[in-house]
Amino acid sequence: MGNISEIFELGHKLSTGIENRLGMSRRDYLQFCATLAATMGLAKGADAAVAKAIESAQRPSVIWLHFQECTGCSESLLRAEHPTLEKLILDVISLDYHETLMAAAGHQAEAARKAAMKAHKGKYVLVVEGAIPIKDNGIYCKIGGHTAIDLLKECAADAAAVIAIGSCASWGGMPSSGGNPSGASSVGEVLGKPVVTIPGCPPNPYNFLATVVHFLTFGKLPDVDQLGRPKFAYSRLIHEHCERRAHFDAGRFAMEFGDAGHRQGYCLYKLGCKGPETYANCSTIGFGDAGENNWPVGCGHPCIGCTEKGVGFTKPIHMVAKLANVSPPQQYPRIVEENGKGASFAAAAALAALAGAAAGGATMLARNLGKSHALQQAEEAKADQPAATKTEA
């Protein structure tokens, strides 16, 4: 937590307001702010700044556009519990346009969008859900007589920030797979500039909420990686913090759905789990506030890599993943080896040589497993230094 006296004073000021607005006690509210600060990787004491911002800062106006998508991202947001959706859109943000959630329709809905854009010019947050078709001048997606391309560019022109939510908006997602007959493209590709992306099919609603709260608290969006993803949520491989990781290290794999290994919770790598090449926080934050194991791998299904362009909706689900940090051997020793008959001296010598090689490989494997993406890049950069430099060092 942050400075105790500051938080104590803050608590007295906010007690009544928070209980009435967000439907949670002062203690729960401060714990919520501390959790958000920790999720975003903020420094000690930042929870007090988050609490002040949510309570006192002007709610940011949010315009939410829908294009080529299944509305799964909005459905995920509907299931947020801390705070619930009605508290989020009425007390934390001002959701001024959302085709699925707003009461208005037709001309009234379009009038509400234009009014919000005019009233909050240069200050509103634009959230885009779904890919944008660009083939044949974008005729495959129209809203109110305007193409998705025109609507996106119009709304993005005066936005303070643009957030692409979901894999479809982030990099094309499912609509862009295969032949892509409509020319489905990402928000960044259509706008021709980097945007904050929160990929996932669907993404976790708290990744979106934490991004908005960061903007509300500090007046800027969080740090992002080279793909525009917030680092607090997409900086580590799923494989590195998966509850089945110990089974991977021990060579225990489910070989078929429903086999003994699958029922015992063994690693799903050989069933096509894409966790070793997918950056996301699914395994640590879960979905739906439904308790433990509330994510695909926890429920027994391989990760499909939906947060990664070129993996999700591109690679077959059964295809073995390409490990980002280490390549495991093709075979592992069995947990219980059968007792065999005596071997000749030559066979024993050959076996000893193989065992020595396997031991060396196992040592390298143990050393490499669990390295972060940043450490891997540092070692690669070091290896690329000229030979003269290495000699001098």
Over residues 13-45, the pLDDT tens digits come to 544 555 566 566 777 767 777 766 766 666 666
Two structure tokens written together for 103: 């009461």
Dihedral of alpha carbons 188, 213, 53, 45, sign: negative
Banded model confidence at residue 183, pLDDT cuts 50, 70, 90: very high
DSSP state of 134: -
Is the pTM value of this prediction over 0.75? no
**What digits encode the pLDDT tens for the residues 301-311?**
999 999 999 99
CA distance 107 to 121: 21
Cα 288 from Cα 291, distance rounded (Å): 8
Mean pLDDT for the stretch of residues 384-388: 60
Selected residue with higher pLDDT from 332 and 323: 323
What is the structure's pLDDT at 14? Answer: 47
236-333: CATH number: 4.10.480.10
State mean pLDDT over 361-390. Answer: 57
pLDDT tens by residue, 149-180: 999 999 999 999 999 999 999 999 999 988 89
**Mean pLDDT of the 209-227 span:** 84
Angle at 53 between CA 48 and CA 57, to 5 degrees: 155
pLDDT band at 203 (very low <50, low <70, confident <90, very high): very high
Identify which has the larger pLDDT, 137 or 38.
Answer: 137
> How does DSSP assign 313-371, residue by residue?
TTS-TTSPP--SS----S----SSPPP-----HHHHHHHHHHHHHHHHHHHHHHHHTT-
Predicted confidence at residue 10, as pLDDT, reads: 45
Nearest alpha-carbon partner for 2 in 41, 39, 33, 28: 33
- What is 57-234's CATH topology? Rossmann fold (3.40.50)
CA 233 to centroid of chain Cα atoms: 5
Give the range among 43-57, 349-363, 372-386 with minimum mean pLDDT.
349-363
The residues near 164 (Cβ < 8 Å, ≥ 6 apart) are 128, 170, 186, 187, 188, 195, 196, 197, 198, 228
Q: Residue 140 pLDDT > 50, yes or no? A: yes
Looking at the chain, how many residues does it have? 393
* pLDDT value at residue 2: 45
Percent share of the chain, pLDDT over 70: 67
Mean per-residue pLDDT, 208-228: 85
Mean pLDDT of 52-71: 79
Res 7: pLDDT: 41
Residue 248 has pLDDT above 60, yes or no: yes
Q: How much is the pLDDT for 304? A: 94
Nearest alpha-carbon partner for 164 in 207, 135, 219: 207
Q: Please check the confidence at residue 61 and state whether its pLDDT lies above 80.
A: yes
What are the sequence ranges of the domains in the chain?
1-49, 57-234, 236-333
Backbone angles phi, psi at 100, to 5 degrees: -85, -35
318-323, Cβ contacts within 8 angstroms, sequence gap of 24 or more: 318/271, 318/272, 319/272, 320/269, 320/270, 320/272, 321/269, 321/272, 321/273, 321/274, 321/275, 321/276, 321/277, 321/278, 322/276, 322/277, 323/239, 323/276, 323/277
- 96-129 tens-digit pLDDT: 888 888 877 888 888 989 999 999 999 899 999 9
| pLDDT of 91 above 90 | no
Whether the Cβ atoms of residue 135 and residue 182 lie closer than 8 Å to each other: yes
